[in-house]
């Protein structure tokens, strides 16, 4: 397989034993596909996304390997009836996203709407005097949202709130606001925001 060249893969034997929670967005390996820069698309591969390390892991010939983000532009899989598509190659003006960070593409139309799944390792901070804090290191999930123009790799952070979402709609913001009111949509709901973006595309 062409993807096994040395500048693409490294053997993975990291252990997260003793840490509460999981570094993975979805714990199980699932059948998916990935696109390797300069080589092409590989399908029907067992993959899983490590949201703490921000890399893709695959099983090839019974070995668990890491695909370096610099070589893997995108990957995709389905889990419990939901499709997941991740891409990198983006950068943000405030430098909180680099070109090797993976973002999940939630909507791709007039606006590209994406989500960052990341895991943070919180160290144990138990205080025996007051019996407070955590006794163990643990993984904590963080989520953030970004948008980009359909042809752009420069992205901007966006929050799930009325002002930010309507700003995305440009001249159609009043129509989208009415659509949200008429359908009792919540600007803080990811699913409802996706409905607004779909309506925005229909208005174009």
For the chain, which residues make up each domain, given as ranges? 10-117+143-158, 159-204
Q: DSSP for 70-100?
A: TTEEEEEEEETTEEEEEE---EETTSSS-TT
Q: The whole model's pTM is what?
A: 0.85
**Residue 124 token pair:** 């144990």
What contacts 190, CB < 8 A, 6 or more positions away? Answer: 106, 115, 160
Partners of 11 in beta bridges: 65
Residue with tokens 């693409």: 8
Tens digit of pLDDT per residue, the chain (204 long)?
444 455 556 555 566 877 888 999 999 999 999 999 888 999 999 999 999 999 999 998 877 888 889 889 999 999 999 999 999 998 877 667 888 999 999 999 999 999 999 999 988 776 666 666 676 888 999 999 999 875 566 799 999 999 999 999 999 999 999 999 999 999 999 999 999 999 999 998
Predicted pLDDT of residue 39: 86
79, 73, 89: which is closest to 46 by C-alpha?
Answer: 79
Cα 117 to chain centroid, rounded: 4
What is the spatial distance between Cα 72 and Cα 56, in angstroms, rounded to a whole number?
8
């Amino acid at each position: 397989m062409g993807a096994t060249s040395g500048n693409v893969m490294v053997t993975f034997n990291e252990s997260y034993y003793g840490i509460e929670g999981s570094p993975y967005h979805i714990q199980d390996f699932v059948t998916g596909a990935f696109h390797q820069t300069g080589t092409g698309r590989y399908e029907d591969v067992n993959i899983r996304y490590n949201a703490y390390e921000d890399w893709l892991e695959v099983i090839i010939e019974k070995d668990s390997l890491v695909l370096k983000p610099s070589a893997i532009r995108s990957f995709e899989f389905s889990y419990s009836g939901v499709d997941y598509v991740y891409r990198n190659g983006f950068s943000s003006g405030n430098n909180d996203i680099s070109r090797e960070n993976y973002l999940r593409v939630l909507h791709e139309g007039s606006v590209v709407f994406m989500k960052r799944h990341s895991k943070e390792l919180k160290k144990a901070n138990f205080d025996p005097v007051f019996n407070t804090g955590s006794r163990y290191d643990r993984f904590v999930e963080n989520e953030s949202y970004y948008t980009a123009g359909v042809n752009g790799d420069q992205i901007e952070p966006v929050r799930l709130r009325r002002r930010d979402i309507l700003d995305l709609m440009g001249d159609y913001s009043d129509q989208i606001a009415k659509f949200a009111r008429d359908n009792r949509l919540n600007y803080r709901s990811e699913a409802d925001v996706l409905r607004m973006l779909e309506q925005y595309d229909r208005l174009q």
